[in-house]
Amino acid sequence: MENNRNYTYDSVIQLDDAQTASRKYLAKVFTWMFAALVISAACSYEFATTNLITLIVSPVTGGFTGFGTIMLFSPLAFSLVMSFGYNRISYPVLVTLFLAYAVCIGISLSILALAYTGGSLLAVFATASVIFGAMAIAGYTTRMDLTGFGSIMYMLFIGVLVASLINMFIKSSQLDYIMSYVGVAAFTGLTAYYVQMLKRIGEGIEYGDASSKKLVIIGAFTLYTTFINLFLSLLRIFGRRR
């Protein structure tokens, strides 16, 4: 009987340790994610409300400047480097890339102020925040394994990405509208899936080494990117144009 009690007690302690590690990990992930959002919002506001916007869009031609084109495509480059070079780059470099990614996203999003009203942008941002928060809680608390569900949502995301690339050439407003709804569904579902995935990662990592620190940044990068895409998908549907 004594051995059974010890075994049960040890099991509980191990479970508590895993849950504590997961909470600490997710807390750090969300802290970095929110920091990136603040940086993006600050950069976007600064460019949208000052003459800096002329660095993105030419006041003469109305098209993107060279710098604007770089800002539009540089986040993809940062994303690829962080995703595929994760094991080879150091933690300080990974942090630098993530923050630079947030800056570039913020600068590129400043052009939205030219197409949508300020109130509309704030309303959609608030809506995206509520949806993201609700799905994050759902992903953290649910006991259902979302692996299969996440795979479906990821396939929807790939479909949206491919359709968006095709629509750059055919310029169909109807297809863009449909893809926006599909995008909202995909990124809403992916939010719950990613949070559950990160929760499980947090339960199995140890703190203090470089690899765990890098996992925090990668987790923040994943959630930050998901939120930005959810926001943009909602904006295409509910945004009020100027």
Tally of domains within the chain: 1
Q: What is the pLDDT of residues 109-147, one digit of tens each?
A: 999 998 999 899 999 999 999 999 999 999 999 989 998
Q: What is the pTM of this model?
A: 0.87
Residue 144: Cβ within 10 Å count: 11
CA distance 2 to 56: 71
Q: What's the mean pLDDT in 145-157?
A: 90
Q: What is the pLDDT of residues 179-199, one digit of tens each?
A: 889 999 999 999 999 999 999
Query: What range does the domain containing 214 cover?
Result: 2-238
